[in-house]
């Protein structure tokens, strides 16, 4: 499954994804090519239903392409087994979702350390590391709070800490500001930008929020399953 090291963290070639919705064949992605260098902050914009989430799922090993090749951090995903994909997600990917996806039964700290527990870390050691990441997102004082006791912006910060705690090669963020007010959204954008610049974490963000284009190192538009570099008018929007 390991490929020789490449200058790119992510390489996707001719990626297609088809699925059936009833009798209709939906072509969610139609030959996507993508190269992402390490430490990049990639933003993908596009209309709803354009294929952004599908692309992130394929890059994160949640789903498999119908055709094409995807290589992330030296791992070929299109031929990997289910168990290999589980290990791949655990060791290489951090996910941030629009609706945070925190477990409501666990407090902030326990939510953050879940990826470490999946790796088999002892809880005590995982909690120490988790606290450090909560501190990075400015929530160390609220580690005992349950998700329901946190604001949307705070929950998304916890989700970002959870995505980072396993020190993944890349963080895939799917509409990370989609459920936040503008103030919270700007705060999250600043946080991701800071983490990218200070820690060198690679981000791939799918969004409608054009403010996210500001910290991006490169941006793409995904429409009707086709990926293309952002036009300057979109970038400046």
Partner 1 sequence: MLTLGYFIFKDLVYDRWRSLLTVSGIAVTVLAYLLLSSFAQAFQVFSQHPQMSSNLVVLAVDVIDPMESSLDEGVLQTVQKIAPDQIAQVFPVIFRHLNIQDQIMEIRAVPLEQMPTSLALTLDEGSWPDDQPEIVVGEDLARIAAWKTGSKVKIYGTDFLVVGLVSSGENNSGAIWMTYSEGQRLFSMRRGFQVGYLCLKPSANPESVRALLQADPRISSQYTVYLESALSSGYYQVYHNLLTLSHIMGLVALLAITFGTYNTTNLSLTERGHEIGLLRVLGFSQGKLCGFLLARTLVLTLAAFGVGWIIAVVFINYHRTHIAMGLSAAPIVLNLPPSAGLLGLALAIIFSSLGVWLTSGRLGGLSPLAGGDG
Q: What residue ranges bind partner 1 (CB under 8 A)?
A: 28, 46-57, 60, 62, 82-83, 86-87, 89-91, 95, 97-99, 101, 103-106, 110, 114-115, 117-119, 122-123, 162, 166, 174-175, 178-179, 206, 222
Please state the φ and ψ torsions of residue 207, each to the nearest 5 degrees. Answer: -160, 160
Region of residue 199 (phi > 0: left; psi between -120 and 50: alpha; otherwise: beta): alpha
18 vs 37 by CB, closer to partner 1: 18
Pairing assessment for the beta strands 218-223 and 226-229 based on DSSP bridges = antiparallel
What is the C-alpha to C-alpha distance for residues 176 and 193, in angstroms, rounded to an integer? 13
Question: What interhelical angle do 152-165 and 182-199 show, nearest 10?
Answer: 20
Closer residue to partner 1 in complex, CB, 53/202 = 53
CB of 174 to partner 1, least distance (A): 5
| Smallest distance from partner 1 to CB 51, Å | 5
Smallest distance from partner 1 to CB 141, Å: 21
Closer to partner 1 by CB, 157 or 162: give it.
162
Q: Find the shortest distance in angstroms from Cβ 161 to partner 1.
A: 13
Q: Would you say 41 or 51 has its CB closer to partner 1?
A: 51
Q: What is the C-alpha separation between 84 and 101, in angstroms, rounded?
A: 23
Q: How far is the CB of 114 from partner 1 (least distance, A)?
A: 5
Cα–Cα dist 25/39, whole Å: 36
CA of residue 231 relative to chain centroid, distance: 23
Q: Which is nearer to partner 1, 48 or 233 (CB)?
A: 48
């Amino acid at each position: 499954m390991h490929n020789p090291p490449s200058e790119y963290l992510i390489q996707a070639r001719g990626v297609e994804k088809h699925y059936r919705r009833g009798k209709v064949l939906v072509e969610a992605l139609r030959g996507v090519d993508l190269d992402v260098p390490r430490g990049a902050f990639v933003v993908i914009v596009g209309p709803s239903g354009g294929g952004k989430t599908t692309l992130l799922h394929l890059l994160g090993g949640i789903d498999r392409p119908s055709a094409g090749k995807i290589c992330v951090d030296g791992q070929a995903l299109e031929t990997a087994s289910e168990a290999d994909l589980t290990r791949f997600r655990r060791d290489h990917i951090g996910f941030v979702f629009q609706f945070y996806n925190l477990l409501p039964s666990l407090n902030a700290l326990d939510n953050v350390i879940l990826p470490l527990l999946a790796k088999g870390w002892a809880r005590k050691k995982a909690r120490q590391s988790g606290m450090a990441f909560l501190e990075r997102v400015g929530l160390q004082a609220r580690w005992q709070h349950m998700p329901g006791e946190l604001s949307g912006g705070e929950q998304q910060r916890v989700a970002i800490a959870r995505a980072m705690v396993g020190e993944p090669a890349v963080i895939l963020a799917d509409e990370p500001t989609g459920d936040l007010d503008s103030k919270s959204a700007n705060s999250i954008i600043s946080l991701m930008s800071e983490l990218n610049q200070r820690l060198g974490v690679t981000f791939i963000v799918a969004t409608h929020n054009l403010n996210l284009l500001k910290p991006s190192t490169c941006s793409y538009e995904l429409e009707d399953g086709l990926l293309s570099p952002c036009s300057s008018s979109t970038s400046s929007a």
